[in-house]
Structure 1
Amino acid sequence: MGTALPADYKRLVQAYGGGLFAGTLWMLEPGCPNASYDLIAQAAEREEILQELWEAGEDRPPELLDRDVRLIPWGFDEGSGHFLYWLVQSDVEPEEWTVILNEGRGPLWETTPVSCSRFLLDVVAGTTTSFYFTDLDDIVDPDHRTRFVPNAEILGRGYGLTRL
């Protein structure tokens, strides 16, 4: 990845692995054998996809107009296709990276100035300020709202994870 990752993310992956929060929000993990859920594979894929969109004329969000800024995806919404990224700036420590969301089927972006673990907690707890997750109760079964299902359970056990 060429950079250290935030400590809160590392703790989440070391404790739980990647997986599905609230029945809809996938947290990527490095070393997942399925590229759709692998942090490193998705970073490369999303960089290519976004570059193609911007070259085709889609506007970059204002936060990305600085040349020293890049995006690293850490999660996505299963149903809508929204992607969650860290907004990575060369002069900002990983613990200070903010979450930026790109809507799945459109050009809109939303910045939420919190860590990925705080973002996940706010979504699960129903306290998020994100426009894209305020109606989660209408989409997700209430019994799944606070549930986490690890990739190991969904994709099968027996795969090793890359050490962070």
Structure 2
Amino acid sequence: MDDLVGTQAAPRRLASIDEAVVELERAVPGLVSHRRQAPQSVDWSRLEGELGTALPADYKLLCEYYPRFELSDFLCVSRPVPGEEVAWVHGTHEELETIAEWCEDADLAVPMRPYPAPGGLLPWGASNQGDFFLWTTNPAGPEDWTVTVASRNGDWWHYTGGAVQFLADLVSGALEPWALPEVRPEITWVNG
């Protein structure tokens, strides 16, 4: 993909956060057994105030109802723990420093920048092989953010759906895992 960043379109962008979670549970049936009966209370107001932006509703729902988990011994979704929201924001800022370096080193036709730059990249997940899963922020608001993948081997690509739909489509095979290994529908690690 050199200096061009490819884009994969979601078959249909899921507007309902509940529908996105249902699709993820369908793609990863083992996730259902880890779903909490009641949402975990994350202080989103404090977290988003510290971060300087609201976060997408599908991601917040995922964080409230599921523990941290790893898919296929590969992909881990970052999530705040109640009472440790500020620490999560600090960890995100540290990741943004690495992402800034990656953006500088990338030979892309259209340069990318980390958040808080307009349209900046904000991390929501990572792989155990050093890949980043990011949102491309959008001034229209977090429900319009898309996913950007920055692989450790230098390939970058976009996905036009949200983070939860990305996970469902990646595991189900609805999208190509460009520069990534196959992600099987198995939970290989759970915490919290």
Normalised by the size of structure 2, how large is the TM-score? 0.60
User: Counterparts of 1:54 and 1:72 in 2: how far apart (Å)?
Assistant: 12
**Unpaired runs of 5+ in structure 2?**
1-50
Map of 1:150 onto structure 2: 190
AA of the residue aligned to 1:7: A
Structure 1 counterpart of 2:168, from 121, 142, 146:
121
Going from structure 1 to structure 2, the CA distance change for 1:113 and 1:61 (only over 3 Å counts) comes to farther
User: Counterparts of 1:30 and 1:59 in 2: how far apart (Å)?
Assistant: 32
**1:112 Cα offset (Å):** 1.0
Q: Does 1:45 align with 2:99?
A: no
Structural mapping, 1:100-115, within 5 Å: 100-104=148-152, 106-115=153-162
Structure 2 counterpart of 1:82, from 128, 131, 138:
131
Structure 2 counterpart of 1:73, from 99, 107, 123:
123
Map of 1:136 onto structure 2: 182
**1:71 Cα offset (Å):** 1.2
Identity %: 27
Contact map agreement 2:131 2:151 (CA 8 A) in 1? yes
**1:63 Cα offset (Å):** 6.1
Q: CA RMSD in A?
A: 2.8
Count of residues paired in the alignment = 137
User: Counterparts of 2:58 and 2:103 in 1: how far apart (Å)?
Assistant: 31
Structure with greater contact order relative to length (CA < 8 Å, sep ≥ 6): 2
Normalised by the size of structure 1, how large is the TM-score? 0.69
